[in-house]
Structure 1
């Protein structure tokens, strides 16, 4: 076996490339990492090949052939059902654990697939506790904000807890009745005709998310990390998220961070050189902030539900999900993804915008430490959009734009690197 310890039941192991490993807590990336990828359902057949082509071109241009991505297809969604009779073969989980970094197109959960959501299944099975979504504006993209160029934030959304843990009971069931009676015994009145949901937020889940957000801010020279919560109402869940976040920052990054309050009280409003500011905002107030004062925010850390709607709202403020990248990750495994849906009515037409998946590829290159290649892709994207060479979704919003196909947009990106 070429890859020691890779135990596959149905897939044939990669015939070339090397494995990303961790030593002393640090990721070591070879010059030819194996990258498992899921093509995706619907428009995945269009956008995934374009993403691969753009990334390959950038890596070759940046490193003159000394580095390359070794793509290895794994399966999920309808393609997996057709080939293996299951929506996610066990080998797909095994591959991502083993090779550490992967990327996927959009997925639809097939009927009879055994999962409520394939995206959630990957997160839960691999404990990918952080959903990471950078949001920024590209010159030439129609956006509702007057100054969309002021938006440049990275959202760290907790993936495993909060209401998305899916702990709930339907109204009228025996289980819901038991919970209602228990709550009454605890002095909390709940109507009999209620569905019940439980919102767990743990210290463990909070600390590992905030730790990742702060490390990202430090590594990428971001000025602040904002804890977004509804702690004025839910004091022991969302309020605790804020409290534990501040405590973690002081305990583990005390020499590298400073609170917003300390900046005002101890430093006359001037942030000490080289320090990241830790601050917090109430979730509903933060909605105003991302519209009215976006330049004051850089990294946002928040529980699951807040992160869900906040990241989508941010994407809308700069033009929509078509150019919104994302990743689900933990400290050792990172799975990058398009953030939009499968759009099956456009599948196979070479029509849709591949920007979200391409930019998720940029995020992946940055994660690998291949920043030169990542910067080339961004330069190519900026150039194509600025020149008005765009897919139909942007062309219809922009006078004078040249509408091109999905693959032609990829080529335009490559030509402008």
Structure 2
């Protein structure tokens, strides 16, 4: 049941979903937001007016977002007077309304969760972490040609080492598990594991791999990318990451057979030039993929990865185009999607109106695109690019640029609004 602690809008409509996991968005959707911890309130105060202004300018009042605040993290503890970092009514509301946006959350030491963000993804089955990585002209970047980077990374969100199944070194549970493993290894004539080791389980399943890869391929088709690359460490972990690769190819073959082809088919049947509209399915070893990102990023469009590989690669790719301050993110399932700033909460800057709100603003752009409100998303991008093009940036970018005008977090948002039309 909805909690009376939620100030639910008296007007507006709830988003529904079709059978393909796509949202059906009314003209006045109710969309929850979580401010986040640390600098979260600062960047939300800058981002929300930008999103509202873009929708208002684009649709002239015919469409509007009705915001609903939900509590999580430190704000939930302060407001509810308990140790509840992630109230059940917050999870229920996210499920009910379907699309939400959030700032960064901090998990306090000893708070009962390994990570609030991981808990959100697992409880809501947000199995696809989607990280677009694109260069905004004018942003300082550490590579010569950041404009060649145009990637979207689909990272499996519920399995791999992030499933959190592990036991402390020398604990009774770890020792019990290791004794069973060593008995099996001894029977197979393989080297034994140290009995005082910590133990972690790395689960990967056919179902969760295939639904991630299917969403990645569909995204590539919808957004006109010509390749989807399966990134794995299957040369070493043959039955987990190697299976991720095999299940990915199987998904492409069985679900998108008329749309996809492998690299082998590309060169054997088409001389290395893909027919218009076809998507090439590639695979790369994870460590080699880091090199490819630096040397030949233009050869890659959509990447589909297990959880840990995607975590590393998405942050590394974001660094190539200027860092996490300008990196949007989304966690998407079949009936729910939460868009989020990808950086941390930076508590030492909390309340100073200083940090860069670009990540959250760009996450708002991705949210609008997910809703089908592309015109409003394009307007924000125009305002953002023109603002940066005029040298108006927050401190993190100003210190790397010549002749930049350093402004506050809120002033950066206002500058974007003023350049939106």
**TM-score (norm: length of structure 2):** 0.96
* Aligned-partner SS, 2:100: strand
Aligned to 1:363: 366
For residue 111 of structure 1, report the CA deviation from its aligned partner: 5.1
Match of 2:233 in 1: 230
Q: Partner residue of 2:43? A: 47
Query: Secondary structure of 2:245's partner?
Result: helix
C-alpha contact (below 8 Å) 2:329/2:363 kept by paired residues: yes
Quick check: 275-284 or 177-186, which moved more? 177-186
Please report how far the alpha carbon of residue 169 of structure 1 lies from its aligned counterpart in structure 2 after TM superposition: 1.3
Tell me whether 1:147 sits opposite 2:151 in the alignment: no
Mapping 1:55-204, distance limit 5 Å: 55-84=51-80, 85=82, 86-110=84-108, 113-187=111-185, 188=190, 189-204=192-207
Aligned partners of 2:175 and 2:196 also within 8 Å: no
Q: 2:129 touches 2:332 (CA, 8 Å); kept in 1? A: yes
| TM-score (structure 1 length as normaliser) | 0.97
How many residues are treated as equivalent by the alignment?
A: 412
Secondary structure, aligned partner of 1:353? coil
Instruction: Provide the secondary structure at the position in 1 that maps to 2:292.
Output: helix
Match of 1:18 among 13, 22, 30: 13
1:385 maps to 388
Q: Are the equivalent residues in 1 in contact too, given 2:151–2:303 (CA < 8 A)?
A: yes
- Secondary structure of residue in 2 paired with 1:186: helix
Of 1, 23, 26, the match for 1:27: 23
Alignment of structure 1 residues 245-394 onto 2, 5 Å: 245-394=248-397
Q: Contact conserved, 1:105 with 1:357, CA < 8 A, in 2?
A: yes
CA distance in 2, matches of 1:61, 1:327: 25
Is the 1:87–1:110 Cα contact (8 Å) retained in structure 2?
no
1:325-364, CA deviations, whole angstroms, 9 ceiling, x for partnerless residues? 1011111100010011111111111111000000000010
* Aligned-residue CA RMSD (Å): 1.2
Please say which of residues 23-32 and 79-88 is displaced more in the overlay. Answer: 23-32
Larger CA deviation: 198-207 vs 185-194: 185-194
Q: In 2, distance between residues paired with 1:261 and 1:399? A: 48
Instruction: Tell me how far apart the structure 2 counterparts of residues 406 and 248 of structure 1 sit (CA, whole Å).
Output: 44
Q: State the alpha-carbon separation in 2 of the partners of residues 64 and 280 from structure 1.
A: 46
398, 404, 409: which one pairs with 2:401? 398
Structure 1 residues not aligned, in runs of 5+:
1-5
1:19-61 Cα shifts (integer Å, max 9, x gaps): 0012444421100110100011111111102111001111111
Partner of 1:3: none
Higher mean alpha-carbon deviation, 182-191 vs 142-151, is at: 182-191
User: Distance in 1 between the 2:305 and 2:284 partners?
Assistant: 10
